[in-house]
Amino acid sequence: MTCRPTWTACVPCAPGTLWVQRIDAKIHALLRRQAEAEHGRRHRPPTPDWVVEVGIDTGRPRIQLHAGDCYMLGSRRRPVDRDEARRLLADGLRACTHCRPDNRLEVLDLSRPTTLRAARTSVPCRPIPSPLGAVW
């Protein structure tokens, strides 16, 4: 028989009370954890519309501009507003190739120069003569 300490004296416990207390403590801990998770979901800050991914070098140089819902976001990032995102693209910051924030912001891709490439002309292949007389 186990005993439970109180302020006055040691009171013997009933034979299954210790398990009930442990189960109650687990239930209360799980309910508290669920309440904390729900509180976190309700009070989570909104997802930013535009995010700048920054580097690890001194001064934290900017690397890429992403949309706020891009799955390629790195862990080092800083939220920006629409005007700053447009300004950064105009200054030459590279846009993410997955979420294409330049298209969403209706900005031409200014980070890469556009060049017109000459169309390739196909050179006709000469037939290869075979020793058997067939042309391949």
pLDDT in tens, 43-63: 988 889 999 999 887 777 888
CA angle centred on 32, ends 29 and 38, rounded to 5°: 140
pLDDT, tens only, 22-43 = 999 999 999 999 999 999 999 9
pLDDT, tens only, 118-128 = 445 555 566 66
For residue 112, name the pLDDT band (cuts at 50, 70, 90). low
What's the pTM value of the predicted model, to 2 decimals? Answer: 0.53
User: Over 80: is that where the pLDDT of 4 sits?
Assistant: no
**Which is it for the CA torsion 77, 80, 82, 86, positive or negative?**
negative
